Chain A
Amino acid sequence: MTTIEVRIGPRPDSGPDGMDSYPGEQPRMGFFTDTSVCIGCKACEVACKEWNRVPEDGLVLTGMSYDNSVGLGADTWRHVAFIEQQRPLGVTDGDPGAGDGGASGADGAGGDGAGGDGAGGDGGLRWLMASDVCKHCTHAACLDVCPTGALMRTEFGTVVVQADVCNGCGYCIPACPYGVIDQRKEDGRAWKCTLCYDRLGAGMEPACAKACPTDSIQFGPLEELRERAATRVEQLHAAGEDSARLYGHDPGDGVGGDGAFFLLLDEPEVYGLPPDPVVTTRDLPSMWRHAGAAAATLAGLAAVSFAAGVLGERLGLGGRR
């Protein structure tokens, strides 16, 4: 018989980033997706589907790019975005202008301060590839609005839907500021990335990170990932790749920082990510106050309506005789 230790009383320190629903002992785990080394192989998409037994959701080509899964949804928990741009790669070998002709940073592409080289001349094409995933927000709107408690915060600081509780009300879907969670039509319930909760419990890294051949998807304790990401951005900037920036790493942002954050080479919206997401429940206290005032106003309108009716009768104006 195993002993289960039960602690009663105030919770120990809340977790990192002030996550109240999350105890402090187990470090918060997350993803750092470094899109600068993504090669668009989609191994993450496949590994995720295989491991989590996510149903097939169409094997069609969209015609817009090599992207055939379009966006995150109930049956796409990792999504690789492909963006082709008419602008140079920021840097190649740290020796701009050497060798190849046509070196010119003045092609109007902006952003990339480093003088391009051969690959970046006029007509240069750059591919951006990025593997998107549930952000496992510090302040998760999906979790806040879930009326059944099916969405929960795990001991790893991740956000997971309990499939045996979800009744498919669909509230989490428009609540998510990133468009991550969605309803599986044939099943009725809401589904999204679990950050491989089952694998984490067994001390394994999530399937997508395991499968990633370039370490674009890195898994680990969030604090460690944030440090590594900061170093990586500095490295890229030092190498002249000025467009490199982190996304979702800041605990001060509208969702309190993401458990899965990114290094991007362009603005977030280019990748289909919102530039400044805010957890909708931040405004909920104000919403309740306004709703309360409106309810009181309605009661007031009814009172006035009857008072006017009674007054009208007294004055002999109403039709009630």
Chain B
Amino acid sequence: MSEVRVTRKGLRGERPGREAIPGKTGDDARRWRRKGRAEQPMVPEPEFTSYYGKPVLNPPVWEARDIAGYLFLGGLAGGSSLLAAGADLTGRPELARAAKAGAGAAITLSLAALIHDLGRPARFLNMMRVFKVTSPMSVGTWLLSGYGPAAGVAAASALTGRLPRIGAAATVGAAVLGPAVAAYTAALISDTAVPAWHDGYREMPFMFTGSAAMAAGGLGLLAAPAAESGPARNLALLGQVMEMAAFERMTRRIGMTAEPYRAGRGGAYIRAGQVLGALGATGAALSGTPLVRGARPRRVIAALSGAALLGASAATRWGVFHAGMESARDPKYTVVPQRQRLAELSAPAGRPVGLPPA
């Protein structure tokens, strides 16, 4: 249906190629006009525009069980290593044993989850080709390759009673690296274009380390005898407060990008975490007061609240994970904040690129 005609004088009605003006056809082509009933657009016009409601970003391909699981377990391990070193220092052998075993198990499971989540698990060692500070995953790999063995040796030594000196050195090493292991995961997820993760990068590390403290303290309450679990209780309570405070601050600061933390799957996990955290903290506090009489009820309440605190930390991590996924899937969270940013920046000076002055 080309309008180009071959004549003796050459081509007539030839289209102008890359010089073409939209809407202009060949020089003497007939004008094409549409009458009356035009097609209706498929998607009704929302407040922002998008391409058929399709996401702008490609959402992460990470599995919740692996990656949210790692966020939780990595925090638990890092926090527990601190607890273990403190327990060693202050002569609390049972708490130290529980914390070391917890850290060793959590970091082992973490490594398994991380490798399992790779598209090519057999190529795991390619992570060790380079060290890049621009990649939190690279930094984390090297961090874990120091922390993992230390936590493992500390746990093995504590459980078998062998090589106590090496075990003590490994405990110290794990305690030095532990906080970094618990905190870097916030940079890991924030260093993406996922709106709910990226926008919250200031508070996310505090939320994560608070959550790590809560989980490690919870494990201590669950596993250590009442006589030794005082510091674990303190750590859990402090952590719970820090996690809540950081979360509140973050959701207030980031505006509409905070929606996925309140609604949907992410919001449900977050709320579950808050309820469990409040219950666990209350129970933990109660178990440390003379209000509860008798060793056995105390122990039971401490263990239950410890479990609740562990659950709270896990639920929060799952909530953060799913909130990020949701914010990546909905183009609203990509387009609207960027539009606002442009509007704020370019008030008089920079009209959208390419538009002539009004």
Contact = CB atoms under 8 A, between A and B. Distances in A.
A214 B20 contact: yes
Contact of A36 (B20, B135, B234): B20
Interface stretch (A52-60, A145-153, A193-201): A145-153
Nearest to B63: A170
Interface stretch (A1-9, A42-50, A240-248): A240-248
Contacts of A83: 51
Interface string B224-246: 00111111101100110010000
A61 interface: no
Interface string A115-130: 0011111011110000
A233 interface: yes
B209 to A, nearest CB: 4
A21 to B, nearest CB: 11
Contacts of A288: 133, 187
A149 B33 contact: no
B118 interface: yes
B43, B56, B242 pick with most chain A CB within 10 angstroms: B56
A145 B137 contact: yes
Given A125-B38, A167-B127, A298 B213 contact: yes
A124, A187, A298, A299 pick with most chain B CB within 10 angstroms: A298
B83 interface: yes
Contact of B23 (A91, A121, A148, A272): A91
Interface string A80-99: 01011110011111100001
B239 A272 contact: no
A99 B28 CA distance: 13
B24 A71 contact: no
B339 interface: yes
B137 to A, nearest CB: 4
B18 A34 contact: yes
Interface residues on B, range: 35 or more
B194 A174 contact: yes
Contact of B335 (A167, A188, A239, A269): A269
Given A119-B33, A283-B201, A267 B49 contact: yes
A153 B328 CA distance: 26
Interface in A231-288: 232-233, 235-237, 239, 241-242, 244-247, 249-250, 263-265, 267, 269-277, 280-281, 283-284, 286-288
B31 A276 contact: no
A41 interface: no
A181 interface: yes
Contacts of A99: 31
Interface of B: 17-24, 31-39, 41-43, 48-52, 54-62, 78-79, 82-83, 86, 89-90, 117-121, 123-124, 126-127, 129-130, 132-138, 141, 179-180, 182-184, 186-187, 190-194, 197-198, 201-206, 208-210, 212-213, 217, 226-232, 234-235, 238-239, 242, 288, 298, 324, 328, 331, 334-335, 338-339, 341-342, 352-356
Interface of A: 34, 36-37, 63-65, 67, 70-73, 81, 83-86, 89-94, 99-100, 117-121, 123-126, 141, 144-150, 165-171, 173-183, 187-190, 214-216, 218, 232-233, 235-237, 239, 241-242, 244-247, 249-250, 263-265, 267, 269-277, 280-281, 283-284, 286-288, 290-299, 301-306, 308-310, 312-313, 318-321
Ranked nearest first, the 8 interchain pairs of A and B with the lowest CB-CB distance are A168-B119, A245-B354, A188-B119, A272-B51, A294-B205, A89-B23, A167-B123, A305-B234
